[in-house]
Each structure stands twice: as C-alpha cells, then as structure tokens.
C-alpha cells in the first residue's frame, strides 16, 4: 500500500469519525456567510463579543446535555436548573466579593445537587431517564418559585462585569474564555478513562459491563458533570441579565437539544462531541440574528428552532432519508389494498369465533378480570389513594363541604386529566411519550376562539375544525416517529415548539374571541343536577375503556409497546399503529383545549403548560408501565381522579403552586418506583 493510499484511508476514517462536527462546522459557515452578506456592514469586535455573550449560556448548558446524550441518556431538567441557579444568586448576592463567590458556588452546587438527584434515581433505582429528569424539572421549578416567586433581584455590576468584560481589552471577551474553558474541561475528561467509559456505555452498556467498565459509577458521574455545566450556565445568565427570573430556564430546553443535534451528537449514544455542540449553539444564534436582519417577528423563533431540530435529526442519518420513501410507499399500499401482512391475516383467521356462553355478561366479566389481573393489581393503588384523599378531604373540610357540589366539582375538574390520560396513556403504552401536549392544548383553545369569531364563518363548526387539527398534528408527530424513526421525545418537543410559535404568530401574542356557546354551556351549565361535561365524561370513560380493552387497535398497541420487533414479525404494521396512537393523543389534547376555553370563558397563551406533568402523572399513577405494553384505562381514570382530588385538598390548604409541583414530582417518582418493584 502506497503512502498516498494510506493517507487517503486515514483521512477517510478521520472524516467518518468526525462527520458530525464537520457538518456542524459547514452549517455554521453557511449561516455566518449569509448573515455577513446581509448585514450591510463589516463585522467588528463588538459584534463578535456580543455574539459570544448571547450564546454562552446556551453553549455551556448544551455541553452538559451533550455528555448525557453521549452516554445514551436524556436530561429534561436543564432549563429548570438554570432557573434555580439564576434565582438563587439574584435573590441573595450582595455587593461584597465573599457574597459573590459564595452564591456563585451555590448556583453551581444547585446544578451538581440536581445531577446527583437524577443519577440516584436513574442509575441506582433504574428508572427511565426521561421520567426522572421530567419529575426533577418540576421539582426544581417548584423550589425555584420558593426562592423567587416572580422576576426580580439585583446583581451588583461587579459580578456582571467579571463575566462580561474583556480578559484582554478589545481582543478576548470573557464569555469566549468561559466557553473555551468549558470545552477544555470536557476535553480533559475525554482523555481520561472516565471519558472512554462514557462513550463505551453510550455505545453498548451491556458490552461495556462485560468488559469490566464500571457502568454505575460512569453513569452517575455523567449526570453530576452535566448538572455542574447547567449550574455554570445559570451563573453566567445571572451576570448577563443582572436579575433573576424563575421562568427563564424552561424555554431553553428546545434550543439546547437543537444545538446538540446540530453539533452531530446522535441520540443513539456513543457518538458525538461538545465542539460540534458549541458550533451548533452559535449556528442557532446566527440564525436567530438572521431573523432580526430580515425583520421577521421574534414569534417565529420557536417555529424555526422546532423545524431545525427535525431537519437536524434527519440530516444526521442519511439512511433514514433513503427509507422514508419506501416506508411511505408500503404504508400507502397497505391503505389502498385494505389489508395488512399475510401473517396478520392468517393469525386473525385462526381466531375461533366466540361460543354462545362466552357472550354472557358474567362470562365476559370473568374473562376480563382474568385477562387483566396484573393490570388491575397495578391500578388498584390509584383507587386506594383516592379513597384516602377523599377521607382526608371529608375530615379537613367537614364544616364547609357539600357532598353534591364537591362530587360535581371533582368529576368536572377530573375531565381534563381523564381525557388527556387516554391520549398520553396510549402513547406510553406504545413505548413513547408526547411532550407536545401543552402547546397543542393552547393552540386548540386559542384557535377555537379565533375560528368562532364572526369573520371566520365557522361558528360552531370550529369545534370540529379544532378536533381535526389536533388529529392531524398528532398524526404528523406519529409519521415522524413511526415512518422516519425520530425519537418520540425529540419529535414531540419539536412539534411543541412549532405550535408555540404558530400560536403567537397567528394571534400576535394576544388571543381573541370567545368559545362557542355550546362549549361554554358544557362547562358551566347544568343538566340533571350536574355540570353537562360530567355526563360527557361518563360516556367518554365507556368509549375509552372499550377502545383500549376490546378493539383490534388495542391488541396491536399493546404488542407494539411490548416489543416493536416482535410486533413487526407478527405482521403488525408498527408505523401505522404509532401514527394512529399519536393522532389519538393529538385529538385528546385538542378536546382538552376546547374544554379549557369553555371553562375559562376565553383562551390565553400557555393555558396548556400546567398539564404536561399531570398528563404523565395520571398515567404513571394509574399503573401504566413507562417501558410500554402494560396498563389499562381503569387505572388511568383512578390516577386522574386521585390527582384532581389531591390538588383540591392542597388548594384548600392554601398550598402554594411551588409546593404542589414538588409534591407531584415526587408522586411520579414514587409511582414509577412502585411499578418497577412490582415488575421484578
């Protein structure tokens, strides 16, 4: 072999190994070139310094998230930790150096403590990283509200100046130094055994364990290191803004994942790096600046970020793009022919028709109890907890509790979670998770009022239009997950961001109109002693129980959730089931948006935000396994009633929202932990 061929071979190997970073560098170069060409002036030192300052928080936080993703994990608590670090410093720091140093350390420690919390439950208790970090996100948000209930605080200019001034005047800005130091810290870790172990665990945890890699220690270190980066990001954000804001962190979750994916880090784990992530963060910031140059409203930023996240995931895997057309063609052929795989048809043909005795109510009930014995056992704790909460409510508020009004209020308020439970529960049973619920609820409520206005000519037909829109949006998420192969978390997070932006664009930030009269009557009227929606809830429960208990869709759904591979080789069209499942979730979210608009008498921005955690909590509390393939609607209904009754008690005790968030977060962890213990 000649020296030239050896050089070409080494170059090709290096290119393949660093493909993600090279793509990130190319994307950054294109974005920078377009921005420079449209600025109308040369880019000076001030522009460079400002860009570093604007990007540093995102870049540092994204480095931490990248390390978690490399280890084949996911961390949703990043934004909440940034908020906690920010508020801790802004609410307490004074103008002396000792105070600044101490509270900066407290902000860093907040991230490390959260990372340790995540590591304990994920690694030692073996709970899903998505659920643990989601619960941690709400717990940390609650703690943040206890520190600072609303934006405020003041940071001394000396603190801000240390992080924002130039290290070398007119030449080296401090934010650039912080980013470089953050990369160097990861580079040092990368060169150690721990760095090698992180990539090994991310590539194949079982193989790494077989090779003697200390998997437990490695995975715990990953979340602690990531938490430290989040805390550092919060410290810089505090210096940059000069104040605290408990809501500043959560919106950063979408940009963080966009930066990670743009940087070439694969969510499959074991591949990627932090240099590419930093380039991805700068690319995203340049694109946001491009929107400003072209006078595009800032409302479009989340739309762009969501679209970029999906595009980056697609670009990260060329094989997916090659298979999309084939998958769509097979799916369309299945729809046109009206038949599935031969294996499934044979399986269905082999099912014997029911005997006459099997159709008797007693026989049906016995068979149902026998078939769902395990699921009922998992669902019963939710109903037992409901009984305990009801007794506690009767004892605490016996002097001012009207039984009839309380039952009506409990059932009416439970309707929102009971409807969401069907959609989110079906998604979880299929092995996924729907994070687009909040934005879809808000979008549906806002569009209901928008389309009911006299100029729209829809009138009461707006109800059907909103339901169809929710169904379509959910189906789009399902297509991305089922046909394209995008991770459910990433796809639904991107859709959530796109819907958030679309809602702001359509309404210009101010929702208009009122809900249709039938919707308002449904939520505030009276029918045979109850609010009309209570009777609708009774019908919905029956239909949901039948859908998840006695239909072909249910059988396919549970099969897909148990094992997609086994389901596929059993003749089940897995992609079609996933599309239908997410479409159902979209429809349920749209219905809740309609009901909330009728209940409030209007729609408002972020009306769906409080329902993300509860929509997952009722599913988990109701005995649905987060790994998929297990759970029944009877348990989810119990979870919805329990959570609503518990919220009512906490509100009656004047418990702040912050404490309620903390309690709900721990309730989810306890429920998941209980299900894990039972499954052993």
Mean pLDDT value across residues 362-378: 68
Confidence of residue 628 (pLDDT cuts 50, 70, 90): confident
End-to-end CA distance of the chain: 56
Identify the CA nearest to 434 among candidates 388, 473, 395.
Answer: 473
Helix (H) or strand (E) holding 18: none
* pLDDT tens readout for residues 411-453: 999 999 999 999 999 999 999 999 999 999 999 999 999 998 8
Q: Is the pLDDT of residue 11 over 80?
A: no
User: Pick the residue with more confidence: 18 or 534?
Assistant: 534
Q: Using alpha carbons only, what angle is made at residue 300 by residues 296 and 306, rounded to the nearest 5 degrees? A: 140
Q: Using alpha carbons only, what angle is made at residue 235 by residues 243 and 140, rounded to the nearest 5 degrees? A: 85
Structure tokens at 32: 């920078």
User: Pick the residue with more confidence: 507 or 324?
Assistant: 507
Q: Which residues contact 611 (CB under 8 A, 6 or more apart)?
A: 416, 417, 420, 437, 438, 441, 592
Confidence of residue 81 (pLDDT cuts 50, 70, 90): very high
Candidate ranges 121-125, 161-165, 580-584; pick with highest mean pLDDT: 580-584
Mean pLDDT value across residues 139-159: 91
Structure tokens at 619: 């599913």
Q: Is the pLDDT of residue 342 over 60?
A: no
Identify the CA nearest to 588 among candidates 487, 461, 474.
Answer: 474
Q: Which residues contact 664 (CB under 8 A, 6 or more apart)?
A: 138, 613, 614, 617, 643
Mean pLDDT value across residues 280-298: 82
245 phi, psi to nearest 5 deg: -150, 115
Cross-strand pairs, 530: 527
User: Pick the residue with more confidence: 15 or 377?
Assistant: 377
How much of the chain, in percent, has pLDDT values that exceed 90? 53
The number of residues in the chain equals 680
Confidence of residue 531 (pLDDT cuts 50, 70, 90): very high
Q: Is the pLDDT of residue 340 over 50?
A: no
Q: Is the pLDDT of residue 317 over 80?
A: no
Q: Which residues contact 63 (CB under 8 A, 6 or more apart)?
A: 182, 183, 186, 229, 274, 277, 278
User: Pick the residue with more confidence: 632 or 32?
Assistant: 632
Query: Any idea where the domains of the chain sit in the sequence?
Result: 46-250, 378-386+411-675
The CATH code that applies to domain 378-386+411-675 is 1.10.3470
* pLDDT tens readout for residues 192-248: 999 999 999 999 999 999 999 999 999 999 999 999 999 999 999 999 999 999 999
Question: How many CB atoms within 10 Å of residue 484?
Answer: 19
Separation of alpha carbons 224 and 214, rounded Å? 16
Identify the CA nearest to 426 among candidates 579, 640, 539, 533.
Answer: 579
Confidence of residue 526 (pLDDT cuts 50, 70, 90): very high
Cross-strand pairs, 152: 244
Q: Is the pLDDT of residue 498 over 70?
A: yes
């Amino acid at each position: 072999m000649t020296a030239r061929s050896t050089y070409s071979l080494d170059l090709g190997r290096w290119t393949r190994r660093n493909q993600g970073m090279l793509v990130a560098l190319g994307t950054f170069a294109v974005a920078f070139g377009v921005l420079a060409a449209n600025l109308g002036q040369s880019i000076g030192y001030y522009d460079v310094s400002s860009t570093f300052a604007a990007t540093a928080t995102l870049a540092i936080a994204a480095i931490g998230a990248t390390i978690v993703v490399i280890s084949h994990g996911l961390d949703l608590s990043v934004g909440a930790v940034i908020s906690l670090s920010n508020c801790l410093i802004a609410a307490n720091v004074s103008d002396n150096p000792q105070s600044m140093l101490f509270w900066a350390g407290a902000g860093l420690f907040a991230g490390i403590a959260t990372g340790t919390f995540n590591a304990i439950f994920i690694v030692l208790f073996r709970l899903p990283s998505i659920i643990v970090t989601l619960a941690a996100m709400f717990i940390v948000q609650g703690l943040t509200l206890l520190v600072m209930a609303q934006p405020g605080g003041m940071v001394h200019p000396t603190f801000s100046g240390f992080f924002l001034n130039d290290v070398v005047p007119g030449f080296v800005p401090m934010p650039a130094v912080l980013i470089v130091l953050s990369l160097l810290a990861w580079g040092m870790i990368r060169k150690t055994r721990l760095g090698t172990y992180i990539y090994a665990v991310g590539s194949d945890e079982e193989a790494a364990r077989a090779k003697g890699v200390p998997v437990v220690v490695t995975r715990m270190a990953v979340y602690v290191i990531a938490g430290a980066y989040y805390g550092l990001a919060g410290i810089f954000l505090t210096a940059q803004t000069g104040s605290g804001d408990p809501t500043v962190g959560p919106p950063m979750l979408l940009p963080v994942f966009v930066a990670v994916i743009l940087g070439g880090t694969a969510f499959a784990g074991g591949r990627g790096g932090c240099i590419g992530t930093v380039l991805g963060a700068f690319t995203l910031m340049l694109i946001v600046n491009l929107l400003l140059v072209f006078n595009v409203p800032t409302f479009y930023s989340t739309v762009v970020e969501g679209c970029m996240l999906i595009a980056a995931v697609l670009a990260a895997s060329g094989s997916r793009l090659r298979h999309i057309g084939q998958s769509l063609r097979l799916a369309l052929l299945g729809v046109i022919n009206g038949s599935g795989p031969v294996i499934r048809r044979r399986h269905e043909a082999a099912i014997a028709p029911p005997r006459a005795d099997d159709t008797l109510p007693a026989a049906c009930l016995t068979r149902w109890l026998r078939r769902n014995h395990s699921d009922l056992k998992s669902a019963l704790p939710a109903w037992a907890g409901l009984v305990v909460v009801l007794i506690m409510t009767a004892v605490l508020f016996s002097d001012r509790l009207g039984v009839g009004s309380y039952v009506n209020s409990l059932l009416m308020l439970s309707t929102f979670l009971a409807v969401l439970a069907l959609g989110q529960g079906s998604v979880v049973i299929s092995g996924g998770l729907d994070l687009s619920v909040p934005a879809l609820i808000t979008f549906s409520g806002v569009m209901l009022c928008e389309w009911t206005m006299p100029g729209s000519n829809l009138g009461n037909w707006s109800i059907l239009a909103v339901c169809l829109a929710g169904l379509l949006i959910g189906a789009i998420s399902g297509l991305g997950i089922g046909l394209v192969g995008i991770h459910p978390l990433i796809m639904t997070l991107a859709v959530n961001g796109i819907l958030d932006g679309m809602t702001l664009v359509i309404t210009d930030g101010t929702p208009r109109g009122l809900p249709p009269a039938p919707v308002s009557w449904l939520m505030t009227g009276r029918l045979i002693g109850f609010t009309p929606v209570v009777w609708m809830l009774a019908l919905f429960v029956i239909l949901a129980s039948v859908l998840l208990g006695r239909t072909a869709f249910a059988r396919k759904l549970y099969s897909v959730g148990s094992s997609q591979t086994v389901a596929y080789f059993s003749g089940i069209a897995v992609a079609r089931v996933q599309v239908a499942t997410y479409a159902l979730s979209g429809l349920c979210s749209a219905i809740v948006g309609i009901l909330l608009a009728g209940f409030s008498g209007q729609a408002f921005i972020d009306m769906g935000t409080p329902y993300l955690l509860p929509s997952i909590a009722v599913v988990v509390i109701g005995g649905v396994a987060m790994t998929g393939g297990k759970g029944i609607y009877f348990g989810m209904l119990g979870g919805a009633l329990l959570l609503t009754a518990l919220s009512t008690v906490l509100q009656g005790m004047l418990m702040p929202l912050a404490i309620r968030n903390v309690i709900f977060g721990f309730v989810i962890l306890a429920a998941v932990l209980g299900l894990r213990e039972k499954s052993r």
